[in-house]
């Protein structure tokens, strides 16, 4: 039987133009309720972050720019300019999404099996099985999973599981006009991403780095990884994410030993009392 290769997202933030087409396409295809209709005052970001009603979130980070390396033009990264050619600040735009972790804590804690691993290696919530317990919400090291206010059930990116079954790419990747969001076999995407980082380094962008592609990191590598132009913290991402359930086996062992010791003590007390 032929094994289905693991599929994933590679989001190259260096070519994101902040158009939010991915947000719109995600909502339209998955029938995600509208949100972000109120002006937040946070640059052009009106959704604020990932939630049960925002499965793709385009972040706009405004920061003062450092002087670009010699020969590098600020407009290469979509930096706005003031006057003739002097950059005033930099927009770091990034379309965030569920990471579809290799070691997914949300799967570990779900008591109903509502969360499951698909044949593509992605993590999906079955909304008709979720009981709204919310255990998965604090378990996610990225703060991705969220409960919907009207019924308490959790929702997040499915990587358009229904489209994958029909041989189509996810809606967000399909609609992205700059190929900032790329979909495909995970190993191939990692190779492509490494080449892109080398290219950016050669062009003078020394801070360019990959985030989530390392299978030896705290979540075993992500099924949705990113090329960033600055530190992860600048984008609101944890620098060293760790699966929150990593200590569960040892905790259960210690609890078992404690329970056994208690039972032995109670038995000894009961038998001693009878004598």
| pLDDT over threshold 50, residue 252 | no
| pLDDT over threshold 90, residue 229 | yes
Whole-structure pTM over 0.85, yes or no? Answer: no
Annotated binding site: 16, 19, 22, 26, 98, 101, 106, 110, 130, 133, 136, 140, 157, 160, 172, 176
Annotated binding site for [4Fe-4S] cluster: 16, 19, 22, 26, 98, 101, 106, 110, 130, 133, 136, 140, 157, 160, 172, 176
Contacts of 206 (CB under 8 A, 6+ apart): 69
Strand 146-147 and strand 154-155: the pairing is antiparallel
Residues 125 and 195 in one domain: yes
Could you read off the pLDDT of 151-178 as tens digits, one per residue?
A: 899 999 999 999 999 999 999 999 999 9
- Which CATH number does the domain housing residue 210 bear? 3.30.70.20
Contacts of 7 (CB under 8 A, 6+ apart): 120, 121, 122, 159, 164, 183, 184, 185, 186, 223
- Give me the number of domains the chain comprises: 2
Q: Quote the tokens at residue 260.
A: 């056994």
Assigned domain for 32 exists: yes
Could you read off the pLDDT of 178-208 as tens digits, one per residue?
A: 999 999 999 999 999 999 999 999 999 999 9
* Percent of the chain predicted with pLDDT > 70: 80
SS3 helix, strand, coil % of the chain, rounded to 5? 30, 20, 50
In the predicted model, what is the mean pLDDT of the chain?
86
Residues 36 and 120 in one domain: yes
Give the structural domain span for 258: 249-275
Given this model, what pLDDT does residue 93 score?
92
């Amino acid at each position: 039987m032929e094994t289905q290769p693991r599929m994933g997202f590679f989001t190259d933030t260096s070519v994101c133009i902040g158009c939010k087409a991915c947000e719109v396409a995600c909502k339209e295809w998955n029938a995600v309720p509208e949100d972000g209709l109120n002006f937040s005052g946070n640059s052009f970001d009106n959704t604020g972050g990932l939630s049960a009603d925002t499965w793709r979130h385009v972040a706009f980070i405004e920061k003062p720019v450092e002087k670009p390396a010699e020969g590098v033009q600020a407009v290469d990264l979509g930096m706005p300019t003031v006057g003739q050619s002097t950059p005033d600040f930099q927009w770091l735009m990034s379309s965030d999404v569920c990471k579809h972790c290799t070691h997914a804590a949300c799967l570990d804690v779900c008591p109903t099996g509502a969360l499951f691993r698909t044949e593509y290696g992605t993590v999906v919530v079955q909304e008709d099985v979720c009981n709204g317990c919310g255990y998965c919400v604090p378990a996610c090291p990225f703060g991705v999973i969220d409960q919907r206010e009207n019924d308490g059930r959790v929702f997040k990116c499915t990587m358009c599981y229904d489209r994958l079954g029909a041989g189509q790419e996810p809606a967000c990747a399909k609609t992205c006009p700059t190929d900032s969001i790329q979909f495909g076999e995970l190993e191939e995407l990692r190779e492509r991403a490494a080449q892109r980082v080398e290219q950016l380094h050669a062009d003078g962008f020394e801070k360019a780095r990959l985030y989530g592609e390392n299978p030896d990191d705290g979540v075993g590598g992500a099924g949705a990884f990113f090329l960033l132009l600055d530190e992860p913290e600048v984008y609101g991402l944890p620098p060293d994410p760790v699966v929150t359930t990593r200590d569960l086996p040892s905790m259960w062992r210690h609890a078992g030993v404690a329970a056994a010791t208690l039972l032995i003590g109670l038995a000894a007390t009961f038998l001693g009392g009878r004598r």
